[in-house]
């Protein structure tokens, strides 16, 4: 037998084996991350859907023709909170935009914003309406101060209504969840009603300046 050492022939394949092992490990990790992202996307979407449905349910119970109705005010507050929570959940997970599709994601964000913005507007209108009711019992200096305040409030709300109307009109409603279409259409129609109410109130209030 020769004393010359025979080199290990498998050693020439060692770099290849290492590379293949790394590739296999990487593929497993990537698959795991992808699956994790999909799970997170699904759970996030489910949570947002649940919150929005709760908000829509509360919104359907609001009597938007009665700004001083306690029950309607509480339901409006609850719906607003649900939409706000849905927006927080949706915007806190950047992977949702990828799995939903950017266009659908943007529509969902804007749709929730329109409903949230409208309810915020409704609650502000209700608070200002109370100021107007109390204003008639005030003496002149206080009356004038309140008058100027409520006029500014209504003017700001009028601008907000118009902005919400533009946002609602620009939305691709085909991308809105079918379970939320009724609530969204209610908001769109009520925005028109609120704008008319604001314009009417301002025309009266301007005459007292």
Domain count, the chain: 1
* Residue 21 belongs to some domain of the structure: no
Q: How far apart are CA 46 and CA 52, in angstroms?
A: 10
* Residue 11 belongs to some domain of the structure: no
Q: How far apart are CA 54 and CA 33, in angstroms?
A: 31
pLDDT digits (tens, 9 = 90+) for 129-181: 999 999 989 999 999 999 999 999 999 999 999 999 999 999 999 999 999 99
* Residue 28 belongs to some domain of the structure: no
In which domain, by residue range, is 183 found? 39-206
* Residue 94 belongs to some domain of the structure: yes
* Residue 166 belongs to some domain of the structure: yes
Q: Under a CB-based contact definition with an 8 Å cutoff, are residues 161 and 195 in contact?
A: yes
* Residue 137 belongs to some domain of the structure: yes
Chain centroid to CA 41: 17
Q: Under a CB-based contact definition with an 8 Å cutoff, are residues 60 and 118 in contact?
A: no
* Residue 182 belongs to some domain of the structure: yes
- What is the widest separation between alpha-carbon atoms in the chain? 121
Q: How far apart are CA 184 and CA 92, in angstroms?
A: 23
pLDDT digits (tens, 9 = 90+) for 51-107: 999 999 999 999 998 878 999 999 999 999 999 999 999 988 878 888 888 898 999
* Residue 61 belongs to some domain of the structure: yes
Q: How far apart are CA 188 and CA 102, in angstroms?
A: 24
pTM: 0.81
Nearest to 192 by CA among 156, 170, 162, 154: 162
């Amino acid at each position: 037998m020769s004393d010359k050492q025979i080199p290990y022939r498998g050693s020439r394949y060692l770099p290849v084996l290492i590379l293949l092992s790394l590739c296999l490990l990487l593929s497993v990790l990537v698959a795991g991350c992808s699956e994790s992202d999909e799970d997170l996307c699904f759970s996030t979407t489910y949570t947002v859907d649940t919150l929005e449905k709760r908000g829509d349910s509360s919104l359907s119970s609001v009597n938007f023709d009665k700004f001083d109705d306690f029950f309607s005010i509480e339901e409006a507050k609850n719906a607003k909170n649900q939409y706000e929570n849905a927006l927080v959940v949706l915007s806190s997970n950047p992977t949702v935009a990828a799995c939903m599709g950017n266009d659908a994601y943007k529509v969902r964000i804007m749709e929730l914003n329109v409903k949230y913005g409208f309810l915020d507007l409704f609650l502000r209108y209700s608070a200002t309406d109370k100021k107007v009711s109390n204003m008639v019992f005030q003496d002149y200096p206080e009356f004038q101060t309140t008058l100027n305040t409520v006029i500014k409030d209504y003017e700001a709300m009028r601008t907000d209504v118009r902005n919400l109307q533009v946002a609602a009109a620009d939305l691709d409603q085909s991308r809105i969840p079918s379970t939320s279409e009724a609530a969204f259409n209610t908001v769109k129609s009520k925005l028109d009603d609120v704008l008319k109410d604001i314009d009417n109130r301002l025309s009266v209030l301007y005459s007292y300046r």
